[in-house]
């Protein structure tokens, strides 16, 4: 699908990946409508950093069918990213995850069908797999819900699959592994480490043993665009992954070396998942992405860390974060 001069919708556009995707789509020549979560203060999330007029911003809520229907109307493609994503918070508020991640996705699917969109990309997560049984993990890896968050995303994926099979909706399920970069919340490990190290003092983390596959956010956004451009990706599940992994402890030591040598790493029990919920290893096979699109990554982990650190070193950016608070 040629995105140039086409009206496209991004849900969750004010978030970390969503805001970067909006920028990538604008660069592609698309006319971007951005659905952001309604805020009485008028905040557009990270889209507040973009020049006004770059995208058409619509405030609403994916849990509200009318909001979604209005946002989808008149668009050619929909990139559905809106979701609750914090795994620890899903232990506290599972109902909220079902309402947003499952019912919200259902509203997007219904509106896309009603308005005849040409492409619908539904964002999944590598957490749907649970701990790797085989590596690298392919798209046919068994699904295992090790958290309420993962269960909600499995349900959303299966709803999307059912609409593709039942109604021939042009759905593609995009499954990013661990994305990182500027604007990310400290509920994610890389910004949590960087913010704490820049603030000084001990580095408080949960388990250091899990291994993760990291992709820099600019490449993740570019992968979404490449998937939407390719006709061969219709009806597919597609990984966005690097194909390599690193232990959280190794990553922490590297960032300590770069930012604050000698900093003590402390295990914070509040940050530990329940033992059977902890996903021990995620590493993705991205061969389907390479085979079906023209996507090639521009950032490896080291270069992505360089860019992320540089962004957080800017005092204006760092001031948005609380180093002394555990973000669930």
Q: Residue 160 in contact with residue 173, Cβ under 8 Å?
A: yes
pLDDT confidence of residue 308: 98
State the pTM of this model: 0.97
CATH number of the 182-212+246-280+300-328 domain: 3.90.25.10
* 328 has a pLDDT exceeding 90: no
pLDDT confidence of residue 229: 98
pLDDT confidence of residue 324: 86
Kindly indicate the confidence band of residue 152, based on its pLDDT and cuts at 50, 70 and 90.
very high
Domain ranges of the chain: 7-177+215-243+284-297, 182-212+246-280+300-328
Q: What is the pLDDT of residues 69-86, one digit of tens each?
A: 999 999 999 999 999 999
What fold is seen in the domain 7-177+215-243+284-297?
A: Rossmann fold (3.40.50)
CA-to-CA dists, residue 219 to 73, 93, 177, 191, 193, angstroms:
29, 31, 12, 18, 21
Helix H, strand E, coil C: the string for 16-66 is HHHHHHHHHHHHCCCEEEEEEECCCCCCCHHHHHCCCCCCEEEEECCCCHH
Q: What is the pLDDT of residues 153-204, one digit of tens each?
A: 999 999 999 999 999 999 999 999 999 999 999 999 999 999 999 999 799 9
Phi, psi of 188 (to 5 degrees): -95, 150
Quote the longest CA-to-CA distance of the chain: 58
Average pLDDT, the chain: 97
Over residues 85-104, the mean pLDDT reads 97
pLDDT confidence of residue 102: 98
The owner of tokens 């949960």 is 206
What percentage of the chain has pLDDT greater than the value 70?
100
Instruction: State both tokens at 325.
Output: 């608070």
Q: What is the pLDDT of residues 217-251, one digit of tens each?
A: 999 999 999 999 999 999 999 999 999 999 999 99
Pick from 48, 104, 113: nearest CA to 80 = 104
d(Cα 146, Cα 261) in Å, to the nearest integer?
Answer: 35
d(Cα 239, Cα 288) in Å, to the nearest integer?
Answer: 7
Pick from 294, 258, 84, 37: nearest CA to 187 = 84
Contacts of 265 (CB under 8 A, 6+ apart): 202, 203, 205, 208, 249, 252, 253, 256
d(Cα 199, Cα 155) in Å, to the nearest integer?
Answer: 39
Q: What is the pLDDT of residues 258-302, one digit of tens each?
A: 999 999 999 999 999 998 999 999 999 999 999 999 999 999 999
pLDDT confidence of residue 327: 87
Lowest mean pLDDT among 3-17, 38-52, 293-307: 38-52
pLDDT confidence of residue 106: 98
Over residues 143-148, the mean pLDDT reads 98
* Residue ranges with strand state E in the chain: 7-11, 31-37, 56-60, 77-80, 119-123, 171-176, 178-180, 203-205, 211-212, 214-216, 237-240, 246-247, 265-267
pLDDT confidence of residue 107: 98
Q: Residue 77 in contact with residue 1, Cβ under 8 Å?
A: yes
């Amino acid at each position: 699908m040629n995105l140039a001069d086409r009206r496209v919708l991004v849900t969750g556009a004010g978030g970390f990946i969503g805001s970067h995707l909006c920028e990538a789509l604008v660069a592609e020549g698309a006319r971007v409508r951005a659905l952001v979560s309604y805020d009485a203060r008028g905040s557009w999330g990270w889209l507040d950093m973009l020049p006004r007029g770059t995208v058409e911003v619509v405030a609403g809520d994916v849990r509200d069918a009318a909001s979604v229907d209005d946002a989808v109307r008149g668009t050619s493609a929909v990139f559905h990213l809106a979701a609750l994503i914090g795994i620890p918070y899903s232990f506290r508020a599972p109902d909220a995850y079902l309402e947003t991640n499952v019912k919200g996705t259902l509203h997007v699917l219904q509106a896309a069908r009603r308005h005849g969109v040409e492409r619908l990309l539904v964002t999944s997560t590598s957490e749907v797999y649970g701990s790797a049984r085989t590596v690298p993990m392919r798209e046919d890896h068994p699904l295992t819900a090790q958290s309420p968050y993962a269960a909600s995303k499995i349900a959303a994926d299966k709803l999307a699959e059912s609409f593709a099979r039942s109604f021939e909706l042009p759905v593609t399920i995009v499954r990013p592994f661990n994305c990182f970069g500027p604007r990310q919340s400290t509920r994610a490990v890389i910004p949590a480490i960087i913010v704490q190290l820049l603030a000084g003092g001990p580095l408080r983390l949960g388990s250091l043993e899990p291994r993760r596959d990291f992709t820099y956010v600019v490449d993740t956004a570019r992968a979404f665009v490449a998937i939407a451009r390719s006709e061969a990706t219709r009806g597919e599940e597609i990984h966005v992954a690097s194909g390599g992994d690193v232990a959280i402890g190794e990553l922490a030591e590297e960032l300590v070396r770069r930012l604050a040598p000698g900093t003590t790493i402390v295990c914070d029990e509040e940050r530990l998942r329940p033992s059977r919920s902890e996903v021990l290893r995620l590493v993705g096979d991205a061969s389907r992405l390479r085979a079906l699109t023209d996507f090639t990554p521009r950032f490896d982990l080291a270069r992505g860390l360089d860019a992320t650190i540089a962004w957080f070193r800017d005092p204006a950016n760092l001031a948005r974060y609380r180093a002394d608070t555990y973000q669930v």
